[in-house]
Amino acid sequence: MNQMTTVGAGGAVATTSGYDPFAAYGQEAAAGSGNFLKFSKGEWLLGQNGDELELGHRFVANMGELSIGWIRWGDGKPQERRMGLLPQGFRPETRDALGYMDQALWETDKEGKPVDPWTMTNELPLVDLSTGEQVTFSASSKGGIGGIGNLCKAYGREYRLKGDLVPVIELQRDSYMHPVYKKTYVPVLNIVDWIENSGVPSADEREEKPEPEPAAKAKAATGGRTRF
């Protein structure tokens, strides 16, 4: 775990002292675990090998642990995190409050242009609906953050009416014509269903138990352990 990590800086709404040890530990523990899902050049890619997922692949979204904030990069690795949980009221700091403003000290891209070490990032925990694998969709591009923003809008319109149900999302994409880069793809995360929290699959349970018959699957959807 990166010792330089800072969690909850900015404006977390938590205890009277302003520090929530549960949120801080949860953010630290989740930061380096599981595979990361990313969207690149119109494709959904999973893990370090960039395994492509087909459009329409479904996940259960853990909206209660959506993290937003800043990550500082150096030598191709995250050096510092200023992330917090959106549902707890976390408000990221402004860029000028983070330091590292001297562009002469920034790393450069392939064209020799300085690259800001701080990147605004959203991280959304997901569970694969078919395997129970836990992954994190990490978005730092304008299109990626916009995709999570649109998901939040759709979720915000319905979740109060859904009780303990959690949203099932489907991986899709859209495109637009950029004046320089021409056809540009953006990620889309559509809510296609809502299911019981206890019905979210667990990878551990799938490994320990044989594949159930169709009737048993239907029964399991209303029971089992709570995931979120």
The candidate with the shortest Cα–Cα distance to 80, out of 121, 52, 45, 35, is 121
In this prediction, residues 9-15 reach a mean pLDDT of 35
User: For 61-105, what is each residue's pLDDT tens digit?
Assistant: 999 999 999 999 999 999 999 999 999 999 999 999 999 999 999
As a whole number, the mean pLDDT across the chain is 81
* Measured distance between the N- and C-terminal CA atoms of the chain, rounded to whole angstroms: 24
* Domain residue ranges in the chain: 6-220
User: For 180-209, what is each residue's pLDDT tens digit?
Assistant: 888 999 999 999 999 998 888 887 655 554
Q: Rounded to an integer, what distance in angstroms lies between the CA atom of residue 58 and that of residue 145? A: 19
Tokens 């352990």 appear where?
225
Q: Between residues 146 and 203, which one has the greater pLDDT?
A: 146
Answer yes or no: is pLDDT of 21 > 90: no
